[in-house]
Amino acid sequence: MRFDLSALFSPLINAYQRLSNRERTLVSLASAALVVILIYTMIWQPIEDDRVQLARRIQTKRTELSEIQRMRDTYLDLQNQYDLRQRIIEKADPKFSLFPHIESTVSQVLGGREKIASMNPQNKDLSGAYREESVELKLNGVTLQQLVDLMFHIEKGGQPLRLTRLQLKKRPREQGTFDVTATVAMLKSLQNAPHPPEKPPQEPADQEQDQDQEQGQEQPPEAAPPAAPPPGNA
């Protein structure tokens, strides 16, 4: 069966031909507007919505990429700090004692113990794998030059020491001198700490006595010597 398009549109064509020129103009403008609306609604608007959504997704991915790069830089920075501190910890001598070293250094730089108000040692275990040893110093009447020399001897010595706290208070009656409160600390690895030698296990004395008694019971009794014959039978 053939579908005739001319029969379908012939009534519309006849009606259009019966219109006046003004009515035909209005119908043409209405048809053109309808076509534009259909194109905008069915073609342009979906494409524009997809474009806006794609732009938003691109911006979201760019933001996520920037955050990942920032986290990567932070991770690398922390990794470098960890490696540096790990090398510092490995450099520390497990047998090194912080308190007498600081006492000797302060006495050497300041020319004696007269300016030492107090020295308080403190130890703190970190995560069960490291130990932070620190000494809190309180010094009286120290000049800036003496303080600089003391800091140099502490931080540039053979051991990885660092100042975790430094507080200065100017003395009102002595110009150019200060009261100093400082904390010197170092990290040590508990895995590298020396362990006391193990002693061999000792058996208790009672157990040794029981073993000696058992050995004495296992030995057979000695045979008695034969009796001498009577004198009349010789």
The alpha-helical segments, DSSP class H, found in 131-195 are 144-155
149 in any annotated domain: yes
Average pLDDT rounded to a whole number, residues 158-174:
85
Is pTM beyond 0.75 here?
Answer: no
pLDDT above 50: residue 161: yes
pLDDT computed for residue 9 by the predictor: 64
How many other C-beta atoms are found inside a 10 Å radius of the C-beta of residue 220?
A: 5
- Looking up residue 153, the CATH number of its domain turns out to be 3.30.70.60
pLDDT above 70: residue 25: yes
Question: Rounded distance, CA 229 to CA 136, Å?
Answer: 99
pLDDT above 70: residue 210: no
Last residue of a domain, one of 91, 125, 144: 91
Residue 155, C-beta contacts closer than 8 angstroms, at least 6 positions apart: 161, 162, 163
Q: How many CA atoms lie within 13 A of 230 on its CB side?
A: 2
140 in any annotated domain: yes
Please count the structural domains in the chain.
2
| Longest CA pairwise span in the chain (Å) | 186
Last residue of a domain, one of 43, 58, 91: 91
Q: Is 153 or 234 the better-scoring residue by pLDDT? A: 153
Residue 146 structural domain: 98-192
Average pLDDT rounded to a whole number, residues 39-56:
87
175 in any annotated domain: yes
135 in any annotated domain: yes
pLDDT computed for residue 205 by the predictor: 47
Instruction: Please tell me whether residues 102 and 185 are part of one structural domain.
Output: yes
pLDDT digits (tens, 9 = 90+) for 60-118: 999 999 999 999 999 998 888 778 777 766 766 767 888 888 999 999 998 888 889 99
Question: Rounded distance, CA 87 to CA 187, Å?
Answer: 11
Find out whether 132 and 89 touch, Cβ atoms under 8 Å: no
Structure tokens that stand for 55 in this block: 């732009």
160 in any annotated domain: yes
pLDDT above 50: residue 56: yes
- What 3-state DSSP class applies to 25? helix
pLDDT digits (tens, 9 = 90+) for 183-195: 998 887 776 555 4
pLDDT computed for residue 195 by the predictor: 46
